[in-house]
Amino acid sequence: MAPTRRQFMQRAPLVRRLPAELQRRLAGLVQVFLHEKNFEGCNGLEVSEEMRVVIAANACVLLLGRRSDFFPHMGAVLLYPASWRVRQVMTDEMGLEEQVDEENLGEAWERGNVILSWQDILLDCDHPDDGFNLVLHEFSHQLDMEDGTANGTPLLPPALARDWKRVMSREFEALRWVAQALDEEGDGPDEWAWEPRPACAAHEGVLDPYGAEDPAEFFAVATEAFFEDSARLRERHGELYGLLAEFYGLNPAAWP
């Protein structure tokens, strides 16, 4: 017998951690998401029901405790079998142009489409608490962009806005110091940003130094840690955890 949608949802470790009541609520959200959003396979990938459900389940966790629309500005989910290479022309400080090949596993920008690599989502399913979750990362960019700009500040209730600015800028600056220190050790974000599971454990931090790129990446990285490394985030970055708990309306550190 073919697996049911509920069984597919259980393949996402984050879903397995949810208390029963939230699992039920999530099932409802997933149903709407799958009804509303289109998926397109790229590079010959045929999008299966399992792929759609695992992506929808992870993405809808972000909506579980919020009263919001279903990522109203997003286009389709474009799914690649694995990470893809992008060739970009970069200009250095001297004004010289250089071609750079980059490994890409997810994007949230292009015409509102969310672009994902299935291979990396599977990796996330195998490593539920390493602080990385591609789907959470890209869809938190979607939340961030609901006000029209990707700047690390999504639409906020007024009561949250002041603390948001204060706590987020302080934490962002702190992470920039960490990233810079790692960079000086010759182990900077550029070198390992696209390694499979660079492991925050390397610097024993909770937040991936990739978040030091800019405030938008910081919000995405903090969201990943909030759901995947909740207890440590609460312990070491209490205010940041509290802010995200209020924003997402969830307390994942209390889940099993």
In eight-state DSSP terms, residue 78 is E
- Nearer of residues 23 and 113 to Zn ion, judged by Cβ: 113
Number of residues lying near Zn ion (CB under 5 A)? 2
- Nearer of residues 53 and 200 to Zn ion, judged by Cβ: 200
Restricted to residues 196-255, the positions that interact with Zn ion (CB under 5 A) are: 217, 220
What distance in Å separates the CA atoms of residue 249 and residue 58, rounded to the nearest whole number? 16
Strand bridging mode 114-117 / 106-107: antiparallel
Task: Name the minimum Å distance from CB 116 to Zn ion.
Answer: 12
Task: Name the minimum Å distance from CB 22 to Zn ion.
Answer: 25
- Nearer of residues 106 and 205 to Zn ion, judged by Cβ: 106
What distance in Å separates the CA atoms of residue 246 and residue 114, rounded to the nearest whole number? 25
- Nearer of residues 221 and 243 to Zn ion, judged by Cβ: 221
Residue nearest Zn ion by beta-carbon distance: 220
Task: Name the minimum Å distance from CB 97 to Zn ion.
Answer: 25
Quick one: residue 141, left, alpha or beta (phi over 0 = left, psi -120 to 50 = alpha)?
A: alpha
Task: Name the minimum Å distance from CB 137 to Zn ion.
Answer: 6
Task: Name the minimum Å distance from CB 132 to Zn ion.
Answer: 12
What distance in Å separates the CA atoms of residue 239 and residue 229, rounded to the nearest whole number? 15
Q: Which contacts of 82-87 are long-range, i.e. CB under 8 A and separated by 24 or more positions?
A: 82/117, 82/118, 82/119, 82/120, 83/117, 83/119, 83/120, 83/194, 84/42, 84/43, 84/117
- Nearer of residues 150 and 182 to Zn ion, judged by Cβ: 150
Binding site for Zn ion (CB under 5 A): 217, 220
